[in-house]
Structure 1
């Protein structure tokens, strides 16, 4: 059953927010109804309806302000899946250039005009996150990295963000719902809290090895209590071949994870015969830091704020045809802008 669209000022006035509403985030039916759009699109709809022009056939094009990786396309298609529109666009995960047309929508203005705010937001945020993840991927090369950014954003959009990171090149995500939406299982072991409660890194590692299922990788944090190299050797001796890796997450108050630290941990593990133990690094990582850490011997990464804090890529939607006639606002070229990369999506 189609969701009733908020297409009049009367419906806007009638919208009531329940006093006991649990969270501020929009629910799926609120997004689909247009409750998250800007009010000026409702005013536009009402005026055009009064003039008998709301069903005018138009063609709209969407373009970005800067280059990046396109993400959010699937959500736009689902938003407009019941609308009488034809959509062409770049597939999810495509690269794009500044001002390149990434999507074209054609149909009655009444079918999609109200949702300009919504669909641009879907593309802008997800593309920003996916682009940041691609920058990490380019730095990491064949070394896997996982998105640990859910703690930095509102939980309502955390799954959107981490799914976008996977589209951009992340090997996986720690957020449960995000991983499931991407067709994966969530990745991650345990936080520092477990070692602080147990009181010893090795005891915590042994408990993890004993109690977690075989498919849970034995990658153990080694920066909670003692020198990281010392703890890495203690854990490796305790778990032996079962230990897949050690995780370095040294806080900035102690200088963070440096290439010198990674190099020392790698050397000491190898010298003690633990060549199979990989080094996983997390904490304030950037593409530049990842390149240096790989050179020092790091094997895999957990990346949070670089992805979650990425700026949205501004997206603009312009009407380019009205009833088949080329149009444009001042400063823009009238008529559709050819892009042979576009595919018919709907």
Structure 2
């Protein structure tokens, strides 16, 4: 009954609509360029699937967790973490290992900011995987200037000159709706944005709920209007 689940219902609506709203803001700013939710690392594991599900409901093309994608009915989207090239000591060895062991339906997207110049590393991994490489991801930390539109343009130009026009460029690292708009306005050739902290840090929407009817009888606490208030935007779920 509602009396039993009131707190749970309000909590789910508050958090999930906040995350979905943040995702929608990013999607609208991206103007058709795919946005992937990568917010799982910013929240407790118990709610990582919920935040990813909410982000997809908000319009994200996909999300980074398997369970979140399963809830949302989409294919999860991700790539190798920085830990892989760091452990293996080389970005090329890392993407080659990723290519050997991951299912074929998983896109091969290589991180190229771990050890070397991003443009040079993009060429290295492209030469290693060639047509099997779907794209590269730029996640340059703020300590080195972060990902910039000029960097994206340079990497694109270097890939094109080397004959790797099929290799797409994905970006991540502190993206917000404003920053997404700035990238697109500058003409940065981005194939997709990964957004994490902007979605996870969105405050919950303040939801409250009260009983207005008990067993068909209008009833409410003082200050509330007894009787069901119909809303055509809502679907009955209980």
> Residue 108 of structure 1 aligns with which residue?
none
TM-score by length of 1: 0.63
- Larger of the two Rg values belongs to structure: 1
- Is 1:262 the counterpart of 2:155 in the alignment? no
Post-superposition offset of 1:334: 6.0
> Residue 105 of structure 1 aligns with which residue?
none
- Counterpart contact for 2:218–2:228, Cα < 8 Å: no
Q: Distance in 1 between matches of 2:161 and 2:29?
A: 28
1:36-185 pair list within 5 angstroms: 111-185=1-75
Q: Distance in 1 between matches of 2:88 and 2:80?
A: 12
> Residue 194 of structure 2 aligns with which residue?
302
Post-superposition offset of 1:160: 1.1
CA deviation vs aligned residue, 1:162-192 (integer Å, no higher than 9, x gap): 1111111112221222222223343212111
> Residue 100 of structure 2 aligns with which residue?
210
* Secondary structure of the structure 2 residue equivalent to 1:315: coil
* Secondary structure of the structure 2 residue equivalent to 1:301: strand
Post-superposition offset of 1:151: 1.2
* Matched pairs, number: 235
Decide whether aligned partners of structure 1 residues 118 and 230 sit closer, same or farther in structure 2, where only a CA change above 3 A counts.
same
- Is 1:225 the counterpart of 2:108 in the alignment? no
TM-score by length of 2: 0.89
Post-superposition offset of 1:284: 1.0
Post-superposition offset of 1:337: 4.0
- Is 1:242 the counterpart of 2:132 in the alignment? yes
- Is 1:313 the counterpart of 2:232 in the alignment? no
> Residue 339 of structure 1 aligns with which residue?
231
- Counterpart contact for 1:145–1:170, Cα < 8 Å: yes
- Counterpart contact for 1:278–1:299, Cα < 8 Å: yes
Q: Distance in 1 between matches of 2:152 and 2:161?
A: 14
Give me the CA root mean square deviation.
2.1
Decide whether aligned partners of structure 1 residues 229 and 318 sit closer, same or farther in structure 2, where only a CA change above 3 A counts.
same
- Is 1:282 the counterpart of 2:172 in the alignment? yes
Post-superposition offset of 1:221: 0.3
Task: Give structure 2 stretches of 5+ with no counterpart.
Answer: none
Post-superposition offset of 1:315: 0.5
* Secondary structure of the structure 1 residue equivalent to 2:70: helix
Task: Give structure 1 stretches of 5+ with no counterpart.
Answer: 1-110
Q: Distance in 1 between matches of 2:182 and 2:164?
A: 23
Q: Distance in 2 between matches of 1:344 and 1:156?
A: 27
Q: More helix per residue: 1 or 2?
A: 2
Q: Distance in 2 between matches of 1:205 and 1:312?
A: 38
